[in-house]
Amino acid sequence: MPLELHPVAEADFADFVRIQYEAFEGGIASYLAPRPAPPEYFPQQIEKNVKSMREEPDCHFLKVIDTELDGRVIAGAKWRINKHDRTEDQIQVQLPRPGKEQEGNQASIDFMNHLARSRLNWMGTKPFYFLHLLVTDPKHHRRGAGALLVKWGIEQADEANLPAFLEASQQGKPLYSRLGFEAVHEEVFDLATYGGEGVDINTIMIRQPRR
């Protein structure tokens, strides 16, 4: 099989960030990053991810490469693994909070507030395997790369007898459901509020361990 899963190296983050930007098209995700991206956007995002990998021991960045395409990165994920209870201070530091980057972007502010509420409500200080991010190059959908990245975490969660948590887009929800995640909350975003059309739904999903 030409797809292989590997840890992300710092040199991979240019591809990682590019794929994330290209994957976040449609629905509420379209409003979370500037379009078109200003020159400083990608270097800032690369630096942010490198800092996270260096300084946050609970973070695990993974990539899927295609060996038939000279090892091209086609998907990536960020898992947070917390095997023990955390303090309130520890979780507050990690919660997303709107900052200067979000000024004037109400969609991004609303989405970040939703994420913070959900993580506090469903994970809180408890031990969890948290799929923080999963992105696949749109040109390589339906090849199994996403499933490889999810299975990496849930297999470990099963061994640790811990639940896994994620926030699913409408596109990603079927994959997560097939792998045992169950919906516990749906957050509906009226895109007309942000100048768009229709609605988008972000689903909080939890998978209980299987042993």
Name the residue among 128, 187, 124 with its Cα closest to residue 163: 128
pLDDT of 97 > 90? The answer is: no
pLDDT of 98 > 90? The answer is: no
Which CA distances in Å does 64 have to 12, 79, 150?
11, 14, 11
Q: pLDDT, tens digit, for every residue of 134-169? A: 999 999 998 999 999 999 999 999 999 999 999 999
Q: What average pLDDT score do residues 58-85 get?
A: 97
CATH number for the domain spanning 90: value is 3.40.630.30
Looking at per-residue confidence, does 33 or 78 come out higher? 78
Q: What average pLDDT score do residues 84-105 get?
A: 87
**Strand (E) or helix (H) holding 55:** helix 41-55
**Peptide bond preceding 7 in cis form (omega within 30 of 0):** no
Q: pLDDT, tens digit, for every residue of 109-143? A: 999 999 999 999 999 999 999 999 999 999 999 89
Query: Percentage of residues in the chain with pLDDT exceeding 90?
Result: 86
Least confident of 48-52, 57-61, 85-89, 115-119: 85-89
The per-residue pLDDT for 100 is 77
**Strand (E) or helix (H) holding 106:** helix 106-122
How many folded domains does the chain comprise? 1
For residue 66, what are the β-bridge partners?
3, 72
Which CA distances in Å does 21 have to 37, 188, 209?
9, 22, 32
**109: Cα separation from own chain's centroid:** 17
Domain span at 61: 3-207
The per-residue pLDDT for 58 is 95
The per-residue pLDDT for 25 is 84
Angle at CA of residue 176, ends 78 and 62, nearest 5°: 20
Q: pLDDT class for 101, splitting at 50, 70, 90?
A: confident
pTM of the model: 0.94
Looking at per-residue confidence, does 142 or 60 come out higher? 60
The per-residue pLDDT for 1 is 64
The per-residue pLDDT for 102 is 83
Q: pLDDT, tens digit, for every residue of 17-53? A: 999 999 998 899 999 888 899 999 999 999 999 999 9
